[in-house]
Amino acid sequence: MHGRPRRSAMDWGAGVLLPVTYSLSDAVQFEATPELDAAVDTDRRGRHAAYGSAAGIGWKIAEPVTLTGEVQVLRDDDPQGASTQALAALSVAYSASDDLQFDLFGAGGLNRDTPDVEIAAGFARRF
């Protein structure tokens, strides 16, 4: 029985993030994460540049609680339709122990290309 090879819609993309943190005091940190990606085109026939950065200030409110305010701008230069997303976010982290942290996150879109609202909750456990 003869057949044709299966076509796959799979492609690859790659990216680099460079997180940077600078302590302004014992309680306040500046954080920035620039990003550069080789993103897959919408038509899956190649790659294009996507880039941006997030930046914020983190405040240690009390020993186990940190509040962080951030802004993020991401540009996606897809040949099928470029877009720029911009958002503002606020998160709170509670460190229950040295190995366990709980997080709440909320973000609002600042332009039409960005989802209106994002809300997330999570936890991290170090093993």
pLDDT tens by residue, 67-104: 999 999 999 999 999 999 999 999 999 999 999 999 99
Contact (Cβ atoms closer than 8 angstroms) between residue 46 and residue 70: no
27: alpha, beta or left, given left = phi > 0 and alpha = psi -120 to 50? alpha
State pLDDT tens for residues 16-53.
999 999 999 999 999 999 999 999 998 888 899 999 99
Phi, then psi, of 82 in degrees rounded to 5: -75, 150
**What is the chain's mean pLDDT, rounded?**
92
C-alpha 121: how far from chain center: 15
Please give the structure tokens belonging to residue 70.
């951030």
Nearest to 68 by CA among 85, 56, 81, 50: 56
CB atoms within 10 A of CB 5: 5
CA 124 vs CA 30, 36, 56, 104, 115: distances in Å: 22, 26, 20, 12, 25
